[in-house]
Amino acid sequence: MPQVIGDFYSGTSNITLPVRNKQAFPVEFRDKSRLTFYASLFNSLEVNSSFYKIPQPATVEKWAASVPENFKFTFKLWREITHNKGLVFNPDAVRRFMDTINRAGDKKGCLLVQFPPGQAFDLFGLDRLLAEIRSADEDNSWKIFLEFRNRSWYVEDIYELLDQYSMGFVIHDLPASATPLNDVAGDFMYLRFHGPNGGYRGSYTDDFLYEYALYINEWMQDGKTIFSYFNNTMGDAVKNLQTLNHFVNELKDRDASDE
């Protein structure tokens, strides 16, 4: 009986490339966009710019048309929705954001919903927001993950609420609020690497990346689809991404040869 293997999508937070300018691009990409070159190297992108400003719908359509069929976009929810005191938000803004990113079509990946460190546990406020997001995603076409920057959220009431809405935790490694690496339910997982000491800088060791490749391989063997992004873009995000991808592919090939 063949093994069930999940998919693996990985990239950087916003476009980060292994070269500095277009003159260093391969010849066939010098007259093309940075996104087109990026998508020749990696199969997913975490769009962080949407946190600061909702993109134009036509821009999202253009992005989707610029990448291969197997490419997935993840969008970070606009901060005017997630970063107001008391989790106050405008429902129309949620719908406008969702209508815009829906232009990604079959290139839809995840929706990243991030909360600030100053926002502590608020079950009812979170419930209101998640209900609005889920309502705006009428066909359940987005995989929705929450990133908490305050440890007060890691309690059973929140686990149950996320299960209710079929949403998940981002597994991230910021020291002050790192996600507990418990058994994760559901068919999808989202990993976010902010740098070995936080601060979006630095480089992960090969041993650390190999350990996570082992986790990813195990989760994929269980049929889970993994989304993984490196946010240490002031450090070695691209190098770390390439190393992790290499280890994951190496383990996958090893397991295939053992069948």
Q: What is the mean pLDDT of residues 21-36?
A: 93
Residue 1 is assigned to a structural domain of this protein: no
What is residue 1's predicted lDDT score, i.e. its pLDDT? Answer: 35
Give the C-alpha separation, 69 to 108, whole Å.
11
Residue 195 is assigned to a structural domain of this protein: yes
Domain count, the chain: 1
Q: What is the mean pLDDT of residues 233-253?
A: 96
Tens digit of each residue's pLDDT (9 = 90 or more) over 47-83: 999 999 999 999 999 999 999 999 999 999 999 999 9
Residue 3 is assigned to a structural domain of this protein: no
Residue 71 is assigned to a structural domain of this protein: yes
Q: What is the mean pLDDT of residues 127-131?
A: 98
Burial 202-217 (b: 16+ CB within 10 A, else e): bbbeeebbbebbeebb
Residue 63 is assigned to a structural domain of this protein: yes
Range of the domain at 89: 8-258
pTM equals: 0.95
Q: What is the mean pLDDT of residues 219-248?
A: 97
Residue 151 is assigned to a structural domain of this protein: yes
pLDDT band at 3 (very low <50, low <70, confident <90, very high): low
Residue 2 is assigned to a structural domain of this protein: no
Output the domain CATH number for residue 17.
Answer: 3.20.20.410
